[in-house]
A and B are shown apart, each in its own frame.
Chain A
Amino acid sequence: MATESSEGDEESKIVVGNQQLVVEESLREMAKQAAWSVSSCKPGNGVLSLRDDNLESFWQSDGAQPHLVNIQFQKKVKLQLVVLYVDYKLDESYTPSKIAIRAGDGFHNLKEIKSVELVKPTGWVYISLSGNDPREAFVNTFMLQIAVLSNHLNGRDTHVRQIKVYGPRPNPIPHQPFQFTSREFITYSTVR
């Protein structure tokens, strides 16, 4: 992650985004199991553009701030990382500058878990959802909401080109308290 964190444990400044999307192998993308929705959009630049793996297409909001992206799962899932692709060079005043991430059971009880401030980012921006406590490596939740609170240069609407959400891989062997790490165990652990 290209993060320069400041002192405060609530906020961190992210100056530049990565061009490559590099994620640990132990994480996998969770977005397919979710229902995505946005608070508003311009026709032709809707929520599909957030998930189409195409960095040329983007979502453009069309309403009052804050602009929201809602990700709702059918069951409680463990989430660890949120990655956004934004580009100041292309979007200028549409580029988000303050982003808050909220989690909860539904629209009624979302609580903010992370807040970041971006400064002219170009590329993938990684936002980790882990707390400082090693016990809180994941956020276990039904719903995640990504709120764009303000944009660069005080723009009203925002462009986001892609969003990906990551969580841990499940244990390939059900009903095991721990996952196996050594080769001998893994070789014998399944029939293929």
Chain B
Amino acid sequence: METILNDCVQNSLRHFLYHNAIFMCERLCAEFPSETNSQLLAACYLQGNQAYSAYHILKGTQQAQSRYLFAISCFQMNLLSEAETALCPASEPSSEVPNGAAGHYLLGLIYRYTDRIRSAVNHFNQALSIDPLFWAAYEELCILGAAEEGTAVFGEAASLYVQKQYSANGLASQSMLASTENKNLVPAKNLNLHDPSPRQVKSMHGTTLKDNSANYHGTTLSGGASSNFVNGGFANMSFCSTPSPMAAQISAVAPPPIYRNMQGNGPNPSLLGADGSPRSTINSTMPAPRRKFVDEGKLRKISGKLFDSGPRRSTRLAGELGPSTGSNATSVTGNGTSHSSRYLGGSKLSSVSFRSVTFRKGQARTSENFDEGVQHESYDDSHQSMTSTTTSSLACDTKSLEEGILMATGGAIMSESQAITGASELVTLLAILGEGYRLSCMYSCQDALDVYLKLPHKHYNTGWVLSQVGKAHFELVEYLEADRAFSQARLISPYSLEEMDIYSTVLYHLKEDMKLSYLAQELVSTDRLAPQSWVAMGNCYSLQKDHETALKNFQRAVQLNPRFAYAHTLCGHEYVALEDFENGIKSYQSALRIDERHYNAWYGLGMIYLRQEKFEFAEHHFRKAFIINSRSSVIMSYLGTALHTLKRSVEGLVMMEKAILADRKNPLPMYQKANILASMENFDGALEVLEELKDYAPRESSVYALMGKIYKRCKMHDKAMLHFGLALDLKPSATDVATIKAAIEKLHVPDELDDTL
């Protein structure tokens, strides 16, 4: 009876029937109370979005897997200290972190959110060393500014490691496969290469950690995550978290019957699905069919195609995961059984073939996890015909390039060579992406863009990469290119919300109120519970100068995800526009508490202090912003201004020169330079700069006004009059009109000293 109930639960989980699963699992636990069964129940709860129930069930349990699940539920309920003690009990400081890489990752996230950056970095590095394909951990490291070069991390060693895993698995699976030779088993692996999660996490904007962790563990995502899940179908895909297979893997001794154990339970394809969190199941089921049935013969045939499959694997997988593509893919699958395999239920193929599910986090290296590459291989094989569909699926693929949520099912029939080529291709792909991501986090955006261009076309044209490209252009203050990249990303993955907050800011800068309001409406209708939608709305109102409503919208975004640093910064900007400096400072500081490397918040604080004439503070904050993002000409020009107000005008001028060099298109540093020169009484220099500026921005009234002012100081009244007149023609603001007119009147009173015009 226990097995029957178990199968029932697994089946329900696979089909995302959580209510059923929870009910049956409760019966299972009542009938056969054991820790593994409680783990299964907890997993059901987590997947059904009831982290609190899982919390109560697992409280006090000691098994590694239970502690891991407990930590996940605590994390989703935001009880970070309990999560930490679960993973890393204070009483046993040297105990191993459960679930290897996944556990380290979760622990890293906890440390990050409790401000222990160094320990966080340490754990992420450990996670990466255990599982070299752990993208999410690498992303976190990039965000914290502590990542090594992508090629180093995703390099030879990683490749070898992966190959080893696969060969080991391959052998194991071969032995496992009872009657499998003809069965095509596709090792499904939920690779959530944390791509989505990284994205999620990385956007510090609060995507839910939970997502990450969820993916990671295959636990359900918490509310926030679920919203992500909902939104980014594809992204979600990536989240397919495999059910704590890791734990299973690790404690190979008593792998809970449920998920992990695919090996043991041959006939349980549903297990695979069940393992993962709902999402993963979704994903897994989708890809699963495809994967599964690769003929052995086909596999061999396909080894030649490994090369092509390389870059497409993940995308394909990711794409396939996409619901839309999924069905296509499966239908196209040569194997034909794909559909049925999807449901695993009946097909004997599936029953035979399923191997354990791999946990997403790459950790699964242990036995069953097949390398994503491997999976891809099989994929490839099975879907030769699907190349076209895969490319289309690529299109759907949002950001999860690496997603490869593959449910590892069945024994892999990967040959060694396949494993090797697959692994190296995957690793090269990850290296490029990782390097690009790292560079953009370091704000060397031009280099990041170059790196992304090295990607194969199929990967480049995916939502994630295009959004990253857009973001890089944004940081370089190239708003038009950013707009282009983002709109392309939206065409490719219209339901993804990642980085859409940045896109809304780009449109704000370009003053495209039509496009911005359209974007905001679309985002809100896609997902009312995503902070990015409300950020876009807020930007819309802010563009209309309705700062109070904008503030309300940004506060909503903050409420939806308190770990979304950018929302806090935008709240700060709105407070400043409303002249409420106290609250502005508070908002900026909360943004910095979440993410110290958020240079916009440092800049915001600098602006407030500049306004309040606390020049020392202003200079300090601008400098901090400059240290983080040393290529932004805007920050450099403000730093120069701050230096000038501190009477360190020479340094200010140096900084201005740097700013001018950094970005020739930015007129502001030149203007500021002229300002500084004028106040240093170097009128000729100032006039020279202003003449140059006149050519660049002929319709800017402040340029003429400043020139008029300088001529007035030099007592060249005619020229002054001329320039004031020109300035007035260009319709400056009311205050300036008054100032300029007053200046004109005073022109003819040569004795009057008028410093302020």
A interface residues with partner B (beta carbon < 8 Å): 24-27, 33, 78, 80, 134-138, 168-172, 174-192
User: Are the CB atoms of A179 and B736 closer together than 8 Å?
Assistant: yes
Q: Is B446 an interface residue (CB 8 A)?
A: no
User: Are the CB atoms of B733 and A26 closer together than 8 Å?
Assistant: yes
User: Are the CB atoms of A185 and B671 closer together than 8 Å?
Assistant: yes
Give me 8 A-to-B residue pairs in the complex whose CB atoms sit less than 8 angstroms apart, sorted by A's number: A24-B734, A135-B738, A137-B735, A137-B738, A168-B733, A181-B699, A181-B730, A184-B697
User: Are the CB atoms of A135 and B742 closer together than 8 Å?
Assistant: yes
Q: A135-B741, A137-B738, A178-B702 are in contact. List 14 more A-B contacts (CB 8 A).
A: A26-B734, A78-B735, A135-B745, A174-B611, A176-B702, A181-B700, A181-B702, A181-B730, A181-B731, A182-B700, A182-B701, A188-B665, A188-B668, A191-B599
Give chain A residues whose Cβ lies under 8 Å from the Cβ of B699.
181-182
Within 8 A of A (CB), among B661-686: 665-668, 671, 675
Q: Is B505 an interface residue (CB 8 A)?
A: yes
Closest Cβ–Cβ distance, residue A164 to chain B (whole Å): 15
Q: Is B635 an interface residue (CB 8 A)?
A: yes
Q: Is B737 an interface residue (CB 8 A)?
A: yes
A150–B757 Cα gap in the complex (Å)?
A: 42
Give chain B residues whose Cβ lies under 8 Å from the Cβ of A174.
607, 610-611
A119–B440 Cα gap in the complex (Å)?
A: 66
Give chain B residues whose Cβ lies under 8 Å from the Cβ of A181.
699-702, 730-733
A30–B706 Cα gap in the complex (Å)?
A: 29
Q: Is B600 an interface residue (CB 8 A)?
A: yes
Among residues of B, the one whose C-beta sits closest to the C-beta of A190 is: B634
Give chain A residues whose Cβ lies under 8 Å from the Cβ of B505.
192
Q: When the two chains form the complex, which single residue of A27, A134, A175 contacts B641, counting CB atoms closer than 8 Å?
A: A175
Closest Cβ–Cβ distance, residue B478 to chain A (whole Å): 11
User: Are the CB atoms of A185 and B738 closer together than 8 Å?
Assistant: no
Q: 6 closest pairs, A vs B, by CB? A: A134-B741, A178-B702, A182-B700, A137-B738, A174-B611, A135-B742
Closest Cβ–Cβ distance, residue B625 to chain A (whole Å): 8
Give chain A residues whose Cβ lies under 8 Å from the Cβ of B116.
none
A185-B610 in contact given A26-B734, A192-B508, A192-B509 (Cβ < 8 Å): no
Among residues of A, the one whose C-beta sits closest to the C-beta of B663 is: A188
Give chain B residues whose Cβ lies under 8 Å from the Cβ of A190.
607, 634
User: Are the CB atoms of B697 and A168 closer together than 8 Å?
Assistant: no
A179-B702 in contact given A26-B734, A188-B477, A188-B668 (Cβ < 8 Å): yes
Q: Is B579 an interface residue (CB 8 A)?
A: yes
Q: How large is the interface on B (under 10, 10 to 19, 20 to 34, 35 or more residues)?
A: 35 or more
Within 8 A of A (CB), among B690-704: 696-697, 699-702
Give chain B residues whose Cβ lies under 8 Å from the Cβ of A177.
675, 702, 705-706, 709, 757
A188–B757 Cα gap in the complex (Å)?
A: 25
B interface residues with partner A (beta carbon < 8 Å): 477, 479, 505, 508-511, 545, 570, 573, 577, 579, 599-600, 603, 607, 610-611, 625, 632-635, 641, 645, 665-668, 671, 675, 696-697, 699-702, 705-706, 709, 727, 730-739, 741-742, 745, 757
Interface of A is mostly: loop
User: Are the CB atoms of A175 and B579 closer together than 8 Å?
Assistant: no
Closest Cβ–Cβ distance, residue B520 to chain A (whole Å): 15
Q: When the two chains form the complex, which single residue of A26, A169, A178 contacts B739, counting CB atoms closer than 8 Å?
A: A178
A188–B660 Cα gap in the complex (Å)?
A: 12
A177–B742 Cα gap in the complex (Å)?
A: 14
Give chain B residues whose Cβ lies under 8 Å from the Cβ of A178.
701-702, 705-706, 727, 732, 736, 739
User: Are the CB atoms of B700 and A185 closer together than 8 Å?
Assistant: yes
User: Are the CB atoms of B645 and A175 closer together than 8 Å?
Assistant: yes
A27–B733 Cα gap in the complex (Å)?
A: 10
User: Are the CB atoms of A185 and B702 closer together than 8 Å?
Assistant: yes
Give chain A residues whose Cβ lies under 8 Å from the Cβ of B510.
187
A172-B577 in contact given A134-B738, A177-B709 (Cβ < 8 Å): yes
A136–B741 Cα gap in the complex (Å)?
A: 10
User: Are the CB atoms of B737 and A134 closer together than 8 Å?
Assistant: yes
Give chain B residues whose Cβ lies under 8 Å from the Cβ of A169.
733
A165–B727 Cα gap in the complex (Å)?
A: 29
A171-B735 in contact given A189-B668, A191-B634 (Cβ < 8 Å): yes
Closest Cβ–Cβ distance, residue B624 to chain A (whole Å): 13
Among residues of B, the one whose C-beta sits closest to the C-beta of A25 is: B545
Give chain B residues whose Cβ lies under 8 Å from the Cβ of A188.
477, 633-634, 665-668
